[in-house]
Chain A
Amino acid sequence: MTKQDLRLLREIADLEKTPMGAYNIRKNGESVGRESTENIVIETKTDRPGIDIRIRDGTRNESVHIPVILTKTGHTETVYNDFFIGDGCDVLIVAGCGIRNGGCGTSRHDGVHTFYIGKDSTVRYVEKHYGEGPGTGERIMNPGTVAYIGENSSMKLDTVQIRGIDSTVRTTEIHVGKNARAEVSEKLMTHGSQSAESRMSIFLEDEGADGRVISRSVARDSSVQLFHPEMTGRARSFGHVQCDSIIMDSARISSVPAISAEHTEAVLVHEAAIGKIAGDQILKLMTLGLDEAEAEERIIEGFLG
């Protein structure tokens, strides 16, 4: 791997070197490094592009890294990664995709990740998207996430897309089982003429299911964003959707949260807010010695956490 490859890996997976635990690193459609462990087995799919990740019952405090990098202009791919997570696990899964496009062809990665989570397990899934490169070719990512969360299990999804992706359509579908919990945190910034769309469907399928979505975004320049998170309560359950956006310059944002109840004991709440950075926020930070641009950046940095 080149220095540039390592830089992309650092951006998307905080990797400085080969990760500990299980991993699979994919570059331009090829696996360039893979390691399974006693408890986590990674195998290439035989029917379509992608990998199966099988995590044994009772695997605790272990991690899986499966970053993807695209450095060849014009390379496009659709990849299917399936995670089979057993009972009583506690694992961290770090995915993410970095594109460096130095040419004029469109580089595109469509990744579909499906999670089958057993009982009594805790899963944290982190996904970062990042693009760079001097080329005129577009950098496109269309991630899809599907999750089935078993009884008493929880899944926390942290997705971050901060810069460099020209177009993205993100779809998320989560089915939350009995006394299980799904917590989704989405952070997104677009600039230039980029567009980003996020469609999310969370189904609270069984008694005691709990779903939370926190989406924070910043749209700058003439970029366009659309959010459409939908929470459906099908049993005695609780769901909360919160979308907060900062709009700047000549950007456009549409935020359309939706809640649907199919059960009288489903309690569902949604909130959505779009606004510019408040003048008194900037002034406050200026009284602490920051100039206006620094104050704006600090507010955005805090907002996107």
Chain B
Amino acid sequence: MLSIRNLDLTASNESGTRHILKGIDLDVPDGSFTVLTGPNGGGKTTLAKAIMGIMPADSGSILWDGRDITALGVTERARMGISYAFQQPPRFKGIRVRDLLVLASGKEDLSTADCCRYLNKVGLCAGDYIDREVDSSLSGGEVKRIEIATVLARDSRLMIFDEPEAGIDLWSFSRLTATFGEIRKNSGATVIVISHQERIISLADTIAVVADGRITMCGPRDELFPAVLAGAAPGCRFISGANEGGDCE
């Protein structure tokens, strides 16, 4: 069980200090599939990074498996079974796809067959990618799918995916949606996905809408899905807020 209580977080950059999370309360039961959605800039990614420990909270608490992890660093949380797929994954000169999967799995002897299995789950033809460097020679969509594959290889008990659909073409997206369906059904893992995509939201057990640093709605999919869809522009598969300024064409 992941329990977040009254979480506050401010962050500073060159344009000043911003109060991003404002008293977030959220319970994510074990084995559940939760989708965080809501307008851009509402605080979804910050909340995900706070759970992973990438952005430290100012106050409030995060409990995982009954243990207060609020003060723990990224590495400790990772070793406790939390993983995070970045919205904009970094690239690495000289580190191959296979190397990242080996690191993620923690198995030095991870077989080529296993690497292929993870890559196939994100719609990549393994033979074409396994020995390629994760550098600028790969497209944004390719790096994104490799990022998701590393989290699958990690096989952790809490998996967080930050907008997995971003930058991914329609064909690969179908494969990805099927993979999320499989994870939900078979893995037993607790999954949090940040998404604006109807097909991913429709997989959720729980939908939480994050806006202006708060959870403005949270509940079972069947109850919340119609309300969330009502916020979408007519004729568009995407939820309002997915595009800059909330427009949807």
Contact = CB atoms under 8 A, between A and B. Distances in A.
Contacts of B104: 288
A71 B96 CA distance: 38
A303 B90 contact: no
B173 interface: no
A281 B74 CA distance: 13
Given A289-B75, A289-B106, A290-B103, A303 B94 contact: yes
A280 B78 contact: no
Nearest to B134: A302
Nearest to A286: B74
B103 A285 contact: yes
A17 to B, nearest CB: 27
Interface in B80-113: 83-84, 86, 88-90, 92-96, 99-100, 103-104, 106
A278 B78 contact: no
B248 interface: no
A160 to B, nearest CB: 13
B93 A288 contact: no
A92 interface: no
Interface hub of B96, B103, B104 (most chain A Cβ within 10 A)? B103
Interface string A230-253: 000000000000001000000000
B150 interface: yes
Contacts of B150: 288
Nearest to A304: B94
Interface stretch (A60-68, A77-85, A147-155, A291-299): A291-299
Contact of B89 (A216, A284, A286): A284
Contacts of B84: 287
A301 B74 CA distance: 22
A5 to B, nearest CB: 31
A134 interface: no
Interface in A251-299: 278, 280-281, 283-292, 298-299
Contacts of A289: 75, 78-79, 103, 106
B154 interface: yes
Interface in B108-128: none
Nearest to B104: A288
Contact of A286 (B78, B88, B96, B100): B78
Contact of B92 (A216, A286, A291, A302): A302
A214 to B, nearest CB: 10
A291 B75 contact: yes
A284 B103 CA distance: 11
Interface string B50-76: 001010000000000000000001110
A302 B95 contact: yes
Nearest to B74: A286
B93 A278 contact: no
A248 to B, nearest CB: 15
Contacts of B100: 288
A285 B147 CA distance: 11
A216 B133 CA distance: 15
A215 to B, nearest CB: 12
Interface hub of B86, B92, B99, B154 (most chain A Cβ within 10 A)? B92
A284 B86 contact: yes
Contacts of A285: 103
A298 B93 contact: no
B79 to A, nearest CB: 5
B92 A281 contact: yes
A299 B52 CA distance: 21
6 contacts: A287-B52, A287-B54, A291-B75, A298-B103, A302-B93, A303-B93
Interface of A: 216, 244, 278, 280-281, 283-292, 298-299, 301-305
Given A281-B92, A289-B75, 10 more contacts: A278-B90, A283-B54, A284-B86, A284-B89, A286-B73, A287-B54, A289-B79, A298-B95, A302-B92, A303-B92
- Complex A-B, nearest 7 residue pairs according to Cβ-Cβ distance, in ascending order: A302-B94, A302-B95, A286-B74, A280-B90, A289-B78, A303-B94, A281-B90
